[in-house]
Structure 1
Amino acid sequence: MADIPRTALERVLARASELQTTTPEGAESVSEERLLEIAKEVGLDLAHVRQAIAEERARLPMSETESGPMLDSLGPAALGAQRTVPGTPDDILRRLDAWMPRMESLSTRRRIGDRQSWEPRHDPFGNFLRSFGVGGRRLDLVRVDQMTASVTAVDNTRSVVRLDADIAGMRRTQRNQAVALMALLVLLWGVAAVPVMFLVSTGAGTGILAGISAFVGGAGFFVWRALRRAYRNSVDRMHLRLEQLLDELEQDRLREPLNLLQKVVGQITAR
């Protein structure tokens, strides 16, 4: 979106202040028509304003997620990607809903208006796909808790598509694995250190105990780094996949693999 000149910005702020003082008590929203009128008054491009409104409506309300030093250190608990693509909301959601079960192993969860969500398949075949992928391609989105697409029309030919992936469960799992492995290291330290403690009083076991402690501490540090790196690599792959889905929507390529897959299934059925 183009930059707003300072003179226009001053008019926007002045008009917004005026609007607030004239808005009835308790009213916390402004209609889209009123907002467009204000934008027109201050000389903003209405096409840009409509796109900004569509992008804002596509955003999901932020939900509180579990936090903590270890969880926050691992990385984000949610991912999102957004773009304006050709098509109407109904057409885009229909294409996504046909794509997700076949190519991403995600089953439909719920649709409300122009927002639809999917979740990983929980059947044995879905578990197999999660392990081995499809056609040599890794299924990077099968570890999400929920995948949501929000589509808002900009005009008759374009829509803002926002894809949100909730990965809080994957982050908790990685944290729990780190805690379990570190607890195991502490247990091993205790098993190895107890016999040495009897020698500490004589001074002979001090160096051995220090060596065991250093080894366990170093092992715990490298275990944590490895798990954090693995989580962040998974996050990067998931985010890349979200962007690739938007690429395919933007270039209208989602239909091509589906048409090919339907032909193959039809040939197998005919035999």
Structure 2
Amino acid sequence: MSELPRTSLERVLARASELQSSSTTEPGDTISEARLVEIAKEVGLDVNHVRQAIAEERAQVSLAPESSGAILSSLGPSVVSAQRTVTGTPEQLLRNLEAFLPRGEFMVAVRRTSDRMVWEPRRDPLGNFFRSLGSGGRRFDLVRLDQLVISATKVDDTRSVLRFDAVVDGARRSVRNATIGTAAGMLLIMFIAALPLVFLSLVVPQVAAVVLALLGTISAGVTWFSWRMLTKQFRLMVGRVQQRVEYLLDEAQQGRLEQSPSLLDRMLKGGSGSL
């Protein structure tokens, strides 16, 4: 039997998918993982790569619909995502993160399932106090998140796809609202300042027109400057969040998520041991 070149593989699989969809013998919308692996073997794909691709696809999280609008879209994404295949079972990875995030990022767990966790920043006075002290001179870049969704999907007995979805929609809406508020405030100032110009225009219309144009230019300039400044701050925050979740993936990949006990933990442990 003649062999197909690799360049024909995508066309063959696409056509096979079409035929599968039109077939009346099997459902066309789904296919079992075992059948997919079997097909991969037949076309010469590495089974490990196929299983990893399946795990990465399953790791995708369906989040709540994001806020929409032209201003929001121009700001940037509402979700910062990163994923990686790391060593460990889903249970091990989520357990390590469950121990690390409260101390390392001052976050609290909101929901927990066998393969997924949802976290939020700890915003009580104690959490704010510890964040103000810092940790090794670094910022706590996850403090402005709406939530952090972590999923771990099994690839095989020793590997899992670990995925972070950091939702920043609230911070994005804050930038939009602040910009709209600035624009509305400048319009109000213009309106108040323009009232005397109504009487001035009866006497010196040219001067009134120049002053009104100057006020409009100043208002537009202040609004634009505020927009640029707030947008820059938001995008810097998004960049730091991206770096932080990538760092957490690095830690998971290197097996360093199990943080050593803090000084307070050691003191408490030592005190209980001496009793």
Q: TM-score, normalised by structure 2?
A: 0.89
Q: Give the Cα–Cα distance (whole angstroms) in 2 for the partners of residues 131 and 192 of structure 1.
A: 42
Aligned partner of 1:218 among 217, 221, 224: 221
1:187 matches 2:222: no
Report the more deviating stretch, 124-133 or 189-198: 124-133
| Aligned-residue CA RMSD (Å) | 2.0
- Once the 2 structures are TM-superposed, how far is the Cα of residue 196 of structure 1 from its aligned partner? 2.2
Q: Give the Cα–Cα distance (whole angstroms) in 1 for the partners of residues 54 and 104 of structure 2.
A: 31
1:40 matches 2:38: no
Q: Give the Cα–Cα distance (whole angstroms) in 2 for the partners of residues 136 and 147 of structure 1.
A: 23
Report the more deviating stretch, 199-208 or 234-243: 199-208
Q: Give the Cα–Cα distance (whole angstroms) in 1 for the partners of residues 177 and 221 of structure 2.
A: 19
Matches within 5 A, 1:56-135: 56-131=57-132, 133-135=134-136
- Once the 2 structures are TM-superposed, how far is the Cα of residue 249 of structure 1 from its aligned partner? 0.8
Matches within 5 A, 1:115-264: 115-131=116-132, 133-201=134-202, 202-203=204-205, 204-255=207-258, 258-261=259-262, 264=264
- 8 A contact 1:80–1:163 mirrored in 2: yes
Q: Give the Cα–Cα distance (whole angstroms) in 2 for the partners of residues 147 and 59 of structure 1.
A: 14
Report the more deviating stretch, 217-226 or 117-126: 117-126
**Amino acid in structure 1 at the alignment position of 2:161:** V
Question: 1:179-228: per-residue Cα shift (whole Å, max 9, x none)?
Answer: 11221111222222221232123223222221111111111111111111
Q: Give the Cα–Cα distance (whole angstroms) in 2 for the partners of residues 133 and 23 of structure 1.
A: 62
Report the more deviating stretch, 16-25 or 99-108: 16-25
**Amino acid in structure 2 at the alignment position of 1:69:** A
Identity %: 44
| Residue 53 (structure 1) aligns with | 54
User: What secondary structure sits across from 1:117 in the alignment?
Assistant: strand
CA gap 1:117/1:23 in 2 versus in 1, 3 angstroms? farther
User: What secondary structure sits across from 1:148 in the alignment?
Assistant: strand
**Amino acid in structure 2 at the alignment position of 1:223:** S
CA gap 1:129/1:200 in 2 versus in 1, 3 angstroms? farther
Report the more deviating stretch, 11-20 or 194-203: 11-20
CA gap 1:51/1:98 in 2 versus in 1, 3 angstroms? same
Q: Give the Cα–Cα distance (whole angstroms) in 1 for the partners of residues 69 and 28 of structure 2.
A: 37
User: What secondary structure sits across from 1:118 in the alignment?
Assistant: strand
Unaligned runs of 5+ in 2: none
**Amino acid in structure 1 at the alignment position of 2:62:** P
CA gap 1:122/1:23 in 2 versus in 1, 3 angstroms? farther
Q: Give the Cα–Cα distance (whole angstroms) in 2 for the partners of residues 166 and 252 of structure 1.
A: 25
Report the more deviating stretch, 206-215 or 73-82: 206-215
User: What secondary structure sits across from 1:84 in the alignment?
Assistant: strand
User: What secondary structure sits across from 2:52 in the alignment?
Assistant: helix
